[in-house]
Copies of this chain bind each other. A is one copy, B any other.
Amino acid sequence: MSLLVVGTVAYDSVSTKSGHRQNAPGGSAFYFSISSSFFAKTSLIGVVGTDYSEKYFSMLKKSGVNIDGLEKINGETFRWSGKYHDDDFNQRETLATHLNVLENFNPILNNSHKESKYLFLANIDPKIQTQVLDQMKNKPKMVALDTMNFWIDDHQDKLSSVIENVDIIFMDETEIKSFTKKDNIITAAQFVRDLGPRIVIVKKGEHGSIMFNEGDIFNAPAFPIEQVIDPTGAGDCFAGGFMGYLSGCDDLSPQSLRKALISASVMGSFAVEGFSTEKLSKITHMDIEDRFRGLHGMTNFDPLKNNESLPKRVS
């Protein structure tokens, strides 16, 4: 089924202990759609400036992304630069953010966009997320949202009004604790579910993720990676695996949601193995399936049958 994403398309300059990339392609919608396109046809809504390289338009098209909704307007492309701490990838310093063309972005959806069944509101100004949501012809089958600390800390009202209208929300552990002012993720997830979203997905980086879906909790481990190169965009690729899986099979059963989260984990693991989409551009669908099978191998254990018990001391 049709999958639509709105988010940023950017030039990222990133330093990690493995090296540096200057003006590499990035942005939440860019990462998301490169990832989701392995699973399902994805259309991107975003904006770039006149400096955006033809090379990256081609890269998106080659990945199968529909970029009819990627506007090119006068000005410079959104730019972000940051540096990760040498001994902790969970800590990063933003060196510069230049909104540029993003500042006056007013997304306009075409008729085909408006009929998308799956919609992902990637990390961007909640005002823009709302503008997209409001243009949908019918309520999509599923709307998911991602955000970041900047919107949580300084624009909570604007953010909360979008959150009320989505089915799924992605937040990392720090974000959900800060957004809810709760220090336990079970109570924090419950708090967010009470605002509207049926499903809350808490991302824990190398520690995997947890999906809260009504009474159901599902735990997905991260695929273990020996050498993390650059975590930029990993959360977007994670969401891309999740939404790509769901719209690809158009099945929202609990088992399908679980497999979507495992697919998310797999896509996040590839994302961190290279700068920008350098690793993702080299993998095949079979590589994804191999890691999916790998995660099944790393998590399965025999259940206790109905009348079976665990070993018990005979005193």
Residues of B within 8 A of A19 (CB): none
Interface check A95, CB cutoff 8 A: no
Contact (Cβ within 8 A) A313 B226: no
Instruction: A87-B183, A207-B207 given; name 7 further pairs at CB < 8 Å.
Output: A42-B313, A216-B297, A218-B299, A218-B301, A219-B221, A285-B312, A292-B304
Interface check A298, CB cutoff 8 A: yes
Stretch at the interface among A107-115, A121-129, A151-159, A254-262: A254-262
Stretch at the interface among A69-77, A193-201, A229-237, A242-250: A242-250
Contact (Cβ within 8 A) A289 B304: yes
Interface check A187, CB cutoff 8 A: yes
Interface string of A155-187 (1 = CB under 8 A from B): 000000000000000000000000000011111
Interface check A94, CB cutoff 8 A: no
Interface check A217, CB cutoff 8 A: yes
Interface check A64, CB cutoff 8 A: yes
Q: Which residue of the partner chain B has the closest CB to A210?
A: B224
Interface check A137, CB cutoff 8 A: no
Q: How far is the CB of A270 from chain B (nearest CB, A)?
A: 13
Q: Which residue of the partner chain B has the closest CB to A255?
A: B302
Q: Which of B186, B210, B244, B310 contacts A292 (CB 8 A)?
A: B310
Q: Which residue of the partner chain B has the closest CB to A190?
A: B226
Alpha-carbon separation in the docked complex, A144 to B225 (Å): 27
Residues of B within 8 A of A303 (CB): 293, 296, 300
Contact (Cβ within 8 A) B313 A64: yes
Chain A contacts with B in 259-279, Cβ cutoff 8 A: 259, 262-263
Q: Assuming the A-B contacts A219-B221, A255-B302, are A39 and B311 also in contact, with contact meaning beta carbons closer than 8 angstroms in the complex?
A: yes
Q: How far is the CB of A300 from chain B (nearest CB, A)?
A: 7
Interface check A38, CB cutoff 8 A: yes
Interface check A315, CB cutoff 8 A: yes
Interface check A117, CB cutoff 8 A: no
Alpha-carbon separation in the docked complex, A37 to B312 (Å): 8
Alpha-carbon separation in the docked complex, A40 to B259 (Å): 37
Q: How many residues of A contact B (CB 8 A)?
A: 57
Q: Assuming the A-B contacts A311-B40, A313-B39, A315-B41, are A224 and B301 also in contact, with contact meaning beta carbons closer than 8 angstroms in the complex?
A: no
Q: Which residue of the partner chain B has the closest CB to A66?
A: B315
Alpha-carbon separation in the docked complex, A226 to B302 (Å): 26
Q: How far is the CB of A39 from chain B (nearest CB, A)?
A: 5
Contact (Cβ within 8 A) A207 B204: yes
Interface check A91, CB cutoff 8 A: no
Residues of B within 8 A of A42 (CB): 313
Choose among A226, A292, A301 the residue with the greatest number of B CB atoms under 10 Å from its CB.
A301
Q: Assuming the A-B contacts A186-B226, A314-B41, are A299 and B299 also in contact, with contact meaning beta carbons closer than 8 angstroms in the complex?
A: yes
Contact (Cβ within 8 A) A310 B218: no
Residues of B within 8 A of A248 (CB): 310-313
Q: Which residue of the partner chain B has the closest CB to A222?
A: B219
